[in-house]
Each structure stands twice: as structure tokens, then as C-alpha cells.
Chains A and B, each alone.
Chain A
Amino acid sequence: MTGVRIAGTGHTHFGQFPERTGRDLFAEASAGAIEGAGVEREDIEALFYGNFMGELAEDQGHQGPLMAEMAGVRAPATRFESACASSGVAVREAVKNIRNGEADAILVGGAERMTNLGTAGATKALSIAADELFEIRAGMNFPGAYALMAQAYFSEYGGDREDLAHIAVKNHENALENESAQYQRAITVEDVLEAPPVAEPLGLYDACPITDGASAMVLVSDDFAEREGIDAPVSITGTGQGSDRMALADREYLARTPAATAAAEEAYADAGIGSDDIEVAEVHDCFTIAEVLAIESLGFFEPGEGIGAARAGETTRDGSIPINLSGGLKAKGHPVGATGTSQIVELASVLSGEHVNSDAVPDARIGLTHNAGGTVASTTVHILEVRS
């Protein structure tokens, strides 16, 4: 089985661009990936593309062939939809296709246009990732869902809003020098605690922003990289995916995310490593509590221990396992269909020494990305390793 290498990456600035079409966002990101890889467009054998709310934001379905056109790629093109994990699942399918010999070079990425919908419209669009009959009709939305999980966590394990605030502060700090990030602005614990409530106990600064953006990468087989003389030091060595019951109320635990644990265990086994080998990670912090649930499910912290990790400095840039050096969804932004690939683009840059925050982990060789959909009813985990 061949290995899979990241040959080139592309990323738009993440932010508020309500007038930019999704197709233009992906055109920019895909051009960066293809040019960065130094791969001829005719050598790309497929496009795997993630997008969540195109029908609602732009009245645009069937985006696979549209985005292939925008990327200048004449190849079979498929859109993947798995809520906020849409491009995570696209990456996973690309990895499997290259490994099994179906293709040597695949363009994979995602895009989302959101801010043209406004805050209420985007909140409504996001809510379709929950159970319409049993959750949305009760008035639950995504801030509300994560607030239910936060309250359940506090009840079961303890912790408070100030613990969560330290996660927001950390991720904003990490994004300060990241030119791709929506917010390059420091915030304080007081800012988070005093922000208006969105869904108690979560406030405005516990939530990631609504974001427009796209990300892309070209994945190639080891043989293709060698044959074409492509310098691709970072490989995807592990992939895993987990699912869970759709509605939060139907889960055994309200303050744990076993789909992420399942995805991580599969990815660790695939890469032949364990959670202790991970030196740096990008996790899906759509809300501050989501980072807590992620780092526990991935095995970095025991259940109940993750809440204090940012406050104790364990997940900050100089901590034992820096989390979200890119700024995470919280500060870098969360154009949902683009997030899964964005995490891998950013982590590959960190590991290859090219990221503004690479100096936080100068010797790191193994990292992990965690991309979650819905209230973590879908999760993908990928392991990245530097292979010289």
C-alpha cells in the first residue's frame, strides 16, 4: 500500500467576504494548492470537495463539477456533505483512493460562503446539521446544543466559564500572526466572561465566528511524488472516522464525544502510533467546550481533565501538547465545508517549519487533526507525519 503525501496546499484568507461567491473562493484555494504542488492539472485524477450549505447560501447544489471547472481540473468531481466535517470526509476518501491505487493525484478541499446569510440566517442554515424533528423544532440550535453539552459537562465533572474563557484567549493568541485568520486580535478572560450570552453558559466569545473561505490541497502517492520530483515532506499516515446517534439526547453521554474516540482509535492504529505520540494538534473548537470534549476523546486528557488544560498552560503554545496553533475555528474562522482541509493545511505547515507558529514546536514530527460534524455525530481524525 502506497503512502499519501501532501504535495501542495492552498488557503484563502478566512473572514467576512459576503460578496465573494463560493466558486471564486475555491478557485483561489485550489490554484494555490495546484501551483504549490507543481503538479500538471491534467495529472489530477479526481476532485473530492466538501461543502455543507451551498443550497441555502447560494441556491447552488451539485457543486462537484462546478468546483472542478473553477479549479481548471477535468476529472470526476464529487461533493461530500457531512456538516462541519464535510472536507474531513473528503480527505479521508482521497487518502483511501490513493492507497488502493485508484488514483495517484487528487485535488481535495472545501469551501463555504456564509456571511451573506447574516447571523440569524447562518445560524438557521447551520441548524440543519441537527435532528429537525426532535431538536430544531424544540428551538435548539448549534450554540444551544454545545451549551447543553457544556452544562452537562459542568454538572458531571465541574469546571466553569472561566476555564472555557482560557481556551478562547489561547486560540486568539495563536492567531495573532496567522495571515489566514479571521481574527488577528488578542482578547482577555474578562472580555470572554463579559461578552453577551448566546446560549448560556456560552457567550459570544465562546463561539467561533461565521466565516467565508476555502482551502485545498493536492494529495499524491509516494511513487508519484518520487517520479515527478515533488518535495512533499508531510504525509497523511492515519485516517479514522466515527459516527454517533444524530440527536444529542439519544447519546449515552451528554458530555463526551465517542465518535471522536472511535475515529482517533482507528487513525492511531492506521498510523501505528498512540495518543502519546501526538506532539501538536488542530481540533474542532467551534465552541470553547468543543475543544475540551475533543482533547479528552482523542486521549490527550482523561474525561473531566480537559476543562483545565488551557488555564494550566498544558495546551498553550509552550505547553506539553499545543492545541490549535492556527488559532482554531475560534479565531482562524470556520467556513464549515473548508475547515477539515484547512486544519490539515495549517498543521502540515506547522510540521514542515513554514508556519508562523512552527517555532512553538520546532522538533515536532507527528500531529493530529480532528474535524467534527453536528454535535459530533460525525468525526474524522487524520495523522500527519514528517517523512524525509
Chain B
Amino acid sequence: MSEQHDEGYDEWIDAIDRGEGYALECSNGHGSLPPRRLCPECGDADLEKRALPDSGTLDTYTTIHVATPAFTEDAPYTVAIADFGLARLTGQLRGVEDPEVGMRLAVGVEERKTEDEPLLVFRPA
């Protein structure tokens, strides 16, 4: 783990790791991810934590072959964007040979090879 603490984000990814992932919802129903003081869509300051659903759907994906130094030993790996209702999440897709847009995915936190940092991972739900 890096020495740096990123308040708001670190607590959020820890919550995902515990299976208690959440997004923020404003009083107008817009979703966002922390840390936030205002809704990025409408500026509403009344943000409530809402539990993420057990699964989301795959929107798009790519298998990356040329990685930055922080991911060299992980390559090739697949990055995906999945829709969890209030928010879309960006993570790595594991345990799927032929991804299909629309497939149901669960989200968790796993290890990666190059660095000892938490990684958001989607697996088939």
C-alpha cells in the first residue's frame, strides 16, 4: 500500500473490498463517486451514500497490451466500464474469456502483479 492516504477514495475502495460498495446520490437522483461536496450534475450539496447493487452490466471493455510501468507485469489485462445504476465504475475484468456487452458483473477488490495496490475488479455475477 502506498504511504499516501487519499481521504474519501481509500474508504470507498475499502468498502468495495468488504462488499459494502456505495455511490453518492443527490436529492435530484444523480449519482457520483466520492470524494464530493457537490453533485457534479446539478450542484446539490445534499449527497447520501447509497449501496451499490449486487451486480452491474458491462458497457465496454478493452484488452491492454502496452501498459504503463505501474502495470507492466499485469499486461495483457482487460479494462472495462460497468454500469451499476447510480454510477458507472472503471475496473479490470477477470474470469471472462469472451466478454459480451450487457453481461452481469460483480465488483470487488483484488491484487495486481506489478504493484501492491488495491485494484477494482469485475467478475461474472
Interface residues of A (CB under 8 A from B): 119-121, 123-124, 127, 133-141, 143-144, 147-152, 155, 196-202, 245, 247-250, 254
Contacts and interface: CB of A to CB of B under 8 A. Distances in A.
Contacts of B74: 139
B119 interface: yes
A138 B119 contact: yes
Nearest to A125: B68
Nearest to A245: B40
Contact of B79 (A139, A150, A155, A250): A139
Nearest to B62: A147
Counting from the closest, the 6 A-B pairs by CB-CB distance are A147-B62, A249-B88, A152-B60, A124-B68, A200-B63, A199-B64
Most buried by A among B77, B79, B101: B79
21 contacts: A120-B69, A133-B6, A136-B70, A137-B119, A138-B79, A138-B91, A139-B64, A139-B77, A140-B64, A141-B66, A144-B62, A144-B64, A144-B79, A148-B60, A155-B101, A197-B65, A200-B62, A200-B63, A200-B65, A250-B32, A250-B88
Nearest to B80: A148
A248 B90 contact: yes
Most buried by A among B33, B59, B68, B92: B68
B105 interface: no
A123 B66 contact: yes
Interface residues of B, number: 35
A209 to B, nearest CB: 13
Contacts of B9: 133
Interface of B: 6, 9, 32-33, 40, 59-72, 74, 77, 79-81, 87-92, 101, 112, 117, 119-120
Contacts of A202: 62
A245 B92 CA distance: 21
B62 A151 contact: yes
A123 B66 CA distance: 9
A60 to B, nearest CB: 21
Contact of B69 (A124, A134, A245): A124
A245 B87 CA distance: 13
Most buried by A among B9, B59, B62: B62
Contacts of B61: 148, 151
Nearest to A124: B68
A197 B63 contact: yes
A139 B65 contact: no
A196 B6 CA distance: 37
Contacts of A147: 62, 64
Nearest to A119: B66
A151 B78 CA distance: 12
A106 to B, nearest CB: 34
A152 B60 CA distance: 5
B70 A124 contact: yes
Contacts of A124: 68-70
A136 B91 CA distance: 10
Contacts of B60: 148-149, 151-152, 155, 254
Contact of B90 (A138, A198, A200): A138
B63 A199 contact: yes
A138 B92 contact: yes
B57 to A, nearest CB: 12
Contact of B68 (A120, A149, A201): A120
A123 B79 CA distance: 16
Nearest to A153: B60
Contacts of A152: 59-60
B81 A248 contact: yes
B65 A196 contact: yes
B34 to A, nearest CB: 9
